[in-house]
Structure 1
Amino acid sequence: MIKYISNYITYSFLKKRIKNIELTMDYPIDIQNNVLNELLLHAKNTEFGKKYRFNEIKKYKKFFERVPICKYSDIKPIINRIRKGEKNILWPGKIKWFARSSGTTNTKSKYIPITSQSMNSHYESGKDMLSMYIHNHPKTKIFLGKAVRLGGSYTLHKKYNNFYGDLSSILIKNLPFWAEIICTPKKKISLMSEWDKKLKNLIKITVKQDVRILLGVCSWLLIFLDRLLKIYNKKSINDIWPNIEVIFHGGVSLNPYILQYNKLFNNHKNINYYNIYSASEGFFAIQNENKVEDLLLLLNHGIFYEFIPIEYINDSNPKILSINEVKLNKNYAIVISTNAGLWRYIVGDTVKFTNLSPYKIIISGRTTQYINCFGEELIVENADKALKKSCIETNSILQEYTAGPVYINEGKSGSHEWIIEFKKHPKNIYNFRDILDRELQNLNSDYEIKRYKDIVLRPPIIHVARNGLFYDWLKKKNRLGGQNKIPRLSNNRKYINSILKIQDKNKITVN
């Protein structure tokens, strides 16, 4: 009885948020201007606020003219001061939590400040996520069961007396009571640092529970679900959790994995996939409709947005647009100012707007994840879609992938080199390669031009990875679990060479 009462209270509370979401959708520019003014007011007496005279800024134009854009490398010395305990630098007060960014497995870690305000913005965005889901599924019973969460871990920095770790671990550690009661496993297990040990405990506990929600990065959820089926010798996840209803996923595109998920759930029609766009720097967007790929940009949770057309991203003084200046189907790098003290900060992701009323986006890639050694401008969005089509036509299932360039050498055309790990192998890898090449040409006219008669680009080179190759590579890099992801595309050979070093000698390669 208590469970049903709790379900009713939670459902009713979240349903009321829809009106606020709709209000934001109706007045996006006014809402964003209010967010900017609140950020400036709150930080006007910080060191940064005094330097740029926040107290004098009343309009976006002056903010645009006065405050410079920045990358992490620009503010790293400031972040280091904050980590050492200095107060009132970028945001009022002392900051005790830092999200160690691991969006890709490159370079050294970034430490993104997490304030009480930014943490609360993540939780409020989570409420909106659930609100949109129950709005679209009024008969849902997800709150009668449990939500399985895959989290990372955090560490105490003894010298500075503050904490750093995956964003997920920070949010789980400080999770409000209303959210904690429906989540499983308990914090002690969710925050374990050793991934393999955590996975064993997670499976042991959750298999006995009435799980209805899954939360996490879809690639890591697959590892969890695969092991669950193998250990209990079941054919479908529905045999273990018959009431499972929705997977809230983010971090990487679901497209390359959807066939694998369909197999895990035996093509069960009642499974819903809801995408979210959450990063260490903020919770940016949510899926607000059933079975769509684009996401509703969240405009009222402590983040002010600007956008750089991708063709200007490497300029010393790039063109920057406010949200009311963006156009449909153009690639933009995101610039944010937040209640964590990030001011005109270039996130590193690229997006395209699919709708301007309300503002809806798709994640098209990253400013650092692309291949453009030959003017082909291949982005992650192209790769994900082409691989999905290739898998469908060859009845194969993809596990992981990465790709990089093969440089033009001694008059020989260049190429793209792919390492692909399959869950189910195509019968003919040459056919798979040809379909991938064809779809990339269909999706990307620049790639198509460079492939003309093999003058600039030859057909892709594909290495069929041994089972577990990418997992082993992440383990070697000490990047298992949490928000760690395989870098999809790289404009150099750093990742390709590193992964091929641990590939078996009897690998299958298609030239």
Structure 2
Amino acid sequence: MSIKTFAAKLFAKRIHTKTQKWVTNPVETQQKVFESLLLEASQTEFGKDHDFQNIKTFTDFAKKVPVRDYEGLKAYVDRVVGGEANVLWKGKPLYFAKTSGTTSGAKYIPLTAESMPFHIEAARNAILGYIHETGKADFVTGKMIFLQGSPLLEEKNGIKLGRLSGIVAHFVPKYLQKNRMPSWETNCIEDWETKINAVVAETINENMTVISGIPSWVQMYFEKLREKANKPVGEIFKNFNLFIYGGVNYEPYRAKFENLIGRKVDSIELFPASEGFFAYQDSQKEKGMLLLLNSGIFYEFIKTSEFFDGNPRRYTIGEVELGVNYVLIISTNAGLWAYNIGDTVQFTSLKPYRIIVSGRIKHYISAFGEHVIGKEVEAALQEAMQETEVRVNEFTVAPQINPNSGLPYHEWFIEFENEPNDLEDFALRIDNAMRKQNAYYDDLIVGNVLRTLVINKVSKNGFQDYMKSIGKLGGQNKLPRLSNDRNIANFFNKTK
């Protein structure tokens, strides 16, 4: 055992012990975070506007601070971006994580001196938790790759801004810098396809032991590696045994990855976002990710079934239930208050509190009142794949409200790795699984409001072409798995 491996195991044990202190006191931990956030921000402009000094309980907070998304908080954020101090949080942010996708263009998410360390510690602790549970630590002596956005940063009124993954690249611990790939120069390449080719060239002859990134973009990397070496990734990297991912559900990719790698490897799921690092997989044996209750974030939860009501109830950690879909609401030490990040979660365990990401509150299909969510379409496809030899590269779903003939239906656009022998049979398998997942959808099928779903085949790299067409190829960008409109569907129908 190398000194580095031995040290990693000792460090992992120490962090595990530290983590258990707040894991075993979840409600008390969240209360302390809540009180600390209010105290620290009481003299900010937002704190004064919302009477933080007189908030004594969560009930007070819920009355005085409404739930907002980015658009609702934008007037305050614009003041921060303009250079004003003490607006949402004390002082000024260290960085802005710049993202896109809102009706007003770019989003600027503040990262502060208090919030930034938790982004780094959470990613580190996820790996240390894996080491502690499994005893596997030899990978720390090999090379590790993190597919991410460019670390080159811009500046706005004295505050640096860039993609979150690029900002995080500036905080890689010294003990990892020699192991980390790709090179700084390659990481700075903006064009994703050029970057992937450069990453392949740099890494193909290295001892890669850990690979991390969003599955769809790691898949591109694996495909180019296999094409260049003409052998499975697992043979190119004989010591590669740990895949770390986040952003999307891995299950639809798992069979494809195992084929590209040539064997199974362990994986760790993360739940990071520009707004905070919320959870990581803390066990290879249990379902779900450990919700990080001691990371400067106070969590609220609104049931998705009640979210669009006039005044939905806001639940705290001690009030949540298993298996219920909740919209995740956060207040943070970066100055986000009762902020709706758009993700929905379900709890898989309450001791400790573990979650899965079940979808996006804005990414759903309810053209007929069915309210189908991401988790349901992913689970239905996974069930159909398990019953067959079919493998899928990528997919998305949209409602077809006005077909040329017959009843409306859900239209699935699928890029197959290997196609089903009978496309209609495969569609029926997904449809039956969907009916088990969602009772409203089942009622619509039984009542002849909807017909069985229809699959449209997408040509190879079709989804990459779509992401490129909207300027979101690579990095942390993710394809919506389902939409309540026809925007993505129209793209593929035009390219037929």
Name the CA shift for 1:246/1:157 in 2 (closer, same or farther; >3 Å): closer
Q: Which residue of 1 aligns with 2:217?
A: 220
Percent identical: 36
Aligned residues of 2:300 and 2:317 also touching (Cα < 8 A): yes
* Matched residue type, 1:447: Y
Deviation at 1:383, TM superposition (A): 0.7
* Residues in 2 aligned to 1:38 and 1:105: alpha-carbon distance in whole angstroms: 31
TM-score by length of 2: 0.95
- Residue of structure 2 equivalent to 1:99: 97
Amino acid at match of 1:43: A
**32-41 vs 5-14, greater mean Cα deviation:** 5-14
Structure 2 counterpart of 1:469, from 451, 462, 476: 462
1:341-382 CA-to-partner distances (Å, cap 9, x unmatched) read 100001101111121111111111110111111121211111
Q: Deviations over 1:304-352 (max 9, x none)?
A: 0000111221233221111111111111000000111100001101111
1:79, CA displacement in angstroms? 1.4
Specify whether residues 53 and 107 from structure 1 end up closer, same or farther in structure 2 by C-alpha distance, changes over 3 A only.
closer
Deviation at 1:410, TM superposition (A): 9.7
Shift of 1:154: 5.5
* TM-score normalised by structure 1 residue count: 0.92
Moved over 4 A (4+): 104-107, 154-159, 408-412
* Corresponding position of 2:487: 494
Cα shift at 1:426:
1.4
Tell me, yes or no, if structure 1 residue 352 matches structure 2 residue 346.
Answer: yes
Aligned to 2:23: 25
> What letter corresponds to residue 65 of structure 1 in structure 2?
K
| Structure 1 CA distance for aligned equivalents of residues 325 and 202 of structure 2 | 43
Q: Hey, what's the Cα distance between the residues in 1 that align with 2:213 and 2:22?
A: 27
Give the secondary-structure state (helix, strand or coil) at the position aligned to 2:480.
coil
Structure 2 residue 248 is the aligned partner of structure 1 residue 255 = no
Compared CA separation, residues 337 and 47, structure 1 to 2 (3 A): same
Select 1:138's aligned residue among 135, 140, 144. Answer: 135
Task: Note the C-alpha offset of 1:499.
Answer: 3.3
1:244 matched to 2:237? The reply is no
**In terms of mean alpha carbon deviation, does 61-70 or 359-368 score higher?**
61-70
For residues 75 and 139 of structure 1, do their structure 2 counterparts lie closer, same or farther at Cα, with a shift above 3 Å needed?
closer
Map 1:194-343 → 2, pairs under 5 A: 194-234=191-231, 236-268=232-264, 271-343=265-337
Shift of 1:7: 3.2
Aligned-partner residue type, residue 255 of structure 2: L
Instruction: Give the Cα–Cα distance (whole angstroms) in 1 for the partners of residues 386 and 93 of structure 2.
Output: 48
Are the aligned partners of 2:347 and 2:354 in contact in 1 as well (CA < 8 Å)?
Answer: yes
Aligned residue in 2 for 1:483:
476
Structure 1 pair 500/109, CA: closer, same or farther in 2 (3 Å)? farther
What residue in structure 2 maps to residue 62 of structure 1? 60
Q: Is the 8 A contact 1:351 1:362 kept in 2?
A: yes
Deviation of 1:181 (Å): 3.6
How much does 1:216 deviate? 0.8
Give the Cα–Cα distance (whole angstroms) in 1 for the partners of residues 161 and 418 of structure 2.
Answer: 38
Quote the offset at 1:276 in angstroms.
1.1
What is the CA distance between 1:412 and its match in structure 2?
A: 4.9
Structure 1 residues 106 and 9, CA gap change in structure 2 (3 angstroms): farther
Query: How far does residue 408 in structure 1 lie from its aligned partner after superposition?
Result: 5.1
Q: Secondary structure at the match of 1:423?
A: strand
CA contact (8 A) 2:144 2:210 kept: yes
Q: Does the aligned pair in 2 maintain the 1:105–1:487 contact within 8 Å?
A: no
Bigger mean CA offset, 339-348 vs 62-71: 62-71
SS at match of 2:346: strand
Q: Residue 308 of structure 1 contacts residue 318 of structure 1 at CA under 8 Å; is this kept in 2?
A: yes
> Structure 1: which amino acid aligns with 2:267?
Y
Q: What whole-Å deviation, never above 9, does each CA across 1:462-484 have from its counterpart, x for those lacking one? A: 11001111101111111111111
In structure 2, relative to structure 1, the CA distance for the partners of 1:498 and 1:334 (3 Å cut) is: same
With over 3 angstroms needed to count, the CA separation of the structure-2 counterparts of 1:300 and 1:93, relative to structure 1, is same
Does the 8 A contact of 1:213 with 1:245 survive in 2?
yes
* CA positional deviation for 1:457: 0.6
Taking the aligned partners of 2:341 and 2:156, their CA distance within structure 1 comes to 29
**Higher mean C-alpha deviation, range 88-97 or range 356-365:** 88-97
Task: Tell me how far apart the structure 2 counterparts of residues 488 and 113 of structure 1 sit (CA, whole Å).
Answer: 28
Which consecutive unaligned segments of at least 5 residues does structure 1 have? Answer: 506-511
Matched, 1:168 2:165: yes
1:14–1:127 CA contact under 8 A, matched in 2: no
Greater Cα offset, 465-474 or 34-43: 34-43
Amino acid at match of 1:244: F
Output the CA distance in 2 between the equivalents of 1:154 and 1:288: 28
2:287–2:348 contact (8 Å) kept in structure 1: no
Does residue 402 (structure 1) correspond to residue 400 (structure 2)? The answer is no
- Whether the 8 Å CA contact 1:156–1:162 is kept in 2: the answer is no
Cα separation, 1, equivalents of 2:102 and 2:486? 14
Contact kept? 1:404, 1:489, Cα under 8 Å: yes
| Paired position in structure 1 for 2:124 | 127
1:153, distance to aligned residue in structure 2 (A): 2.4
Distance in structure 2 (CA, Å) of the matches to 1:286 and 1:155: 27
Alpha-carbon spacing, 1:500–1:208, altered in 2? closer, same or farther (3 Å): same
Q: Is the 8 A contact 2:94 2:113 kept in 1?
A: no
Q: 1:409 to 1:188 in 2, by over 3 A?
A: closer
- Note closer, same or farther for the CA distance 1:387–1:106 as it changes in structure 2 (3 Å cut): farther
Partner secondary structure for residue 89 of structure 2 = coil
User: Is the 8 Å Cα contact of residues 307 and 332 (structure 1) preserved in structure 2?
Assistant: yes
* Length, aligned pairs only: 496
CA shift for structure 1 position 83: 1.4
Matched, 1:191 2:188: yes
Secondary structure of residue in 1 paired with 2:358: strand
- CA 259–335 in structure 1, closer or farther in 2 if over 3 Å, else same: same
For the residue of structure 1 that corresponds to 2:114, the secondary structure is helix
SS at match of 1:311: coil
1:102-121: CA deviation from partner (whole Å, max 9, x where unpaired): 5x799833221111222111
Contact 2:154–2:162 (Cα < 8 Å) also in 1: no
1:177 to 174, 178, 189: 174
The range that moved more, 147-156 or 238-247, is: 147-156
Q: What amino acid maps onto 1:246 in structure 2?
A: L
Shift of 1:292: 4.1
In the TM superposition, residue 133 of structure 1 has moved relative to its aligned partner by: 0.3
Counterpart of 1:185 in structure 2: which amino acid? Answer: P
Q: Is the CA contact (8 Å cut-off) linking 1:214 and 1:247 kept in structure 2?
A: yes
Give the one of 112, 115, 119 matched to 1:118: 115
- Equivalent position amino acid for 1:414 in 2: P
Do 1:351 and 1:365's aligned partners in 2 also have CA atoms closer than 8 Å? yes
Unaligned runs of 5+ in 2: none
2:145/2:181 contact within 8 Å kept: yes
* 2:425 aligned to which of 427, 431, 439: 431
